[in-house]
Amino acid sequence: MAKNSFNIGGTGVSILINSTARVVIRDGKTYEIPYYVNTNTTSTINGNVYIGGYQLTKKGQWKRTLKALWYHFF
């Protein structure tokens, strides 16, 4: 089971990504990773979650953004 837990220094954001169960837990709220999001690449930067070219917004929606694509490919 692939689990990554990050406590971003200074921001107080707690992020847990479980790519096997396809869930993200950010500050105690659980968000499902949609079937169309590839979980091979994950990044957490400044409290933001980027997975497979998609960004998890503060409202809990997955959006394809240029920044997320950048972290996906580089």
3-state SS string for the chain: CCEEEEECCCCCCEEEEECCCCEEEECCEEEECCCCCCCCCEEEECCEEEECCEEECCCCCEEECHHHHHHHHC
> Do the strands 42-45 and 29-32 form a parallel or antiparallel pair, or are they unpaired?
unpaired
**pTM summary value:** 0.80
* 45, 71 contact by CB (below 8 A): yes
pLDDT tens per residue across all 74 residues of the chain: 445 555 554 457 789 999 899 999 999 999 999 999 999 999 999 889 999 999 999 999 999 999 999 999 98
